[in-house]
């Protein structure tokens, strides 16, 4: 079992470029999350999904979009990259709403110049 995988590990974007951060899980969990972590800060929730076809905004959704067409995949889309989106992005999944122990991917380090 790979658990939660994220690609790419690192990426440098120019202002205005677009990209998709990939997240996949093989744990058959319904709940998936995208967080960003800025230096010296905790994690902030961008978007989350409680199942295929269902997504909802978190604390900091502006500038991002998500889709959830399958249980396994939860991609995060940046349409017009801005320097404020320079951060480390983590994807996570959880067993169930009744317990919610979250399992994290290794992260994607994104720099926007």
Partner 1 sequence: KQEVTQIPAALSVPEGENLVLNCSFTDSAIYNLQWFRQDPGKGLTSLLLIQSSQREQTSGRLNASLDKSSGRSTLYIAASQPGDSATYLCAVSSIGRTGGSEKLVFGKGTKLTVNP
In the region spanning residues 43 to 72, those forming contacts with partner 1, defined by CB under 8 A, are 43-45, 48, 50, 58
Site for partner 1 in 73-102 (CB under 8 A): 90, 92, 94, 96-102
Rounded to whole angstroms, the Cα distance separating 40 from 31 reads: 27
Q: Is 30 in the site for partner 1 (CB under 8 A)?
A: no
Tell me, by CB under 8 A, how many residues bind partner 1.
27
Q: Does residue 1 belong to the site contacting partner 1 (CB under 8 A)? A: no
Cβ(75)–Cβ(98) under 8 Å? Answer: no
For residues 94 and 103, give the distance between their C-alpha atoms in angstroms, rounded to a whole number. Answer: 6
Give the nearest distance from C-beta 20 to partner 1 in angstroms.
Answer: 19
Cβ atoms < 10 Å from Cβ of 28: 9
Q: How many CB atoms lie within 10 A of CB 35?
A: 23
Q: Is residue 42 close enough to count as binding partner 1 by CB under 8 A?
A: yes
| Under 8 Å between Cβ of 81 and 87 | no
| Contacting residues toward partner 1, per CB under 8 A | 31, 33, 35, 40-45, 48, 50, 58, 90, 92, 94, 96-107
């Amino acid at each position: 079992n790979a658990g939660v995988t994220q690609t790419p590990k690192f990426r440098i974007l120019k202002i205005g470029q677009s990209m998709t951060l990939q997240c996949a899980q093989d744990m058959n969990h319904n709940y998936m999350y995208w967080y960003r972590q800025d230096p010296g800060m905790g994690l902030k929730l961008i978007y989350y999904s409680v199942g295929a076809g269902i997504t909802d905004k978190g604390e900091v959704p502006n500038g991002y979009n998500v889709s959830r067409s399958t249980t396994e995949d939860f991609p995060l889309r940046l349409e017009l990259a801005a320097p404020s989106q320079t951060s480390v992005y983590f994807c996570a999944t959880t067993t169930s709403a009744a317990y919610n122990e979250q399992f994290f991917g290794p992260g994607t380090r994104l720099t926007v110049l």
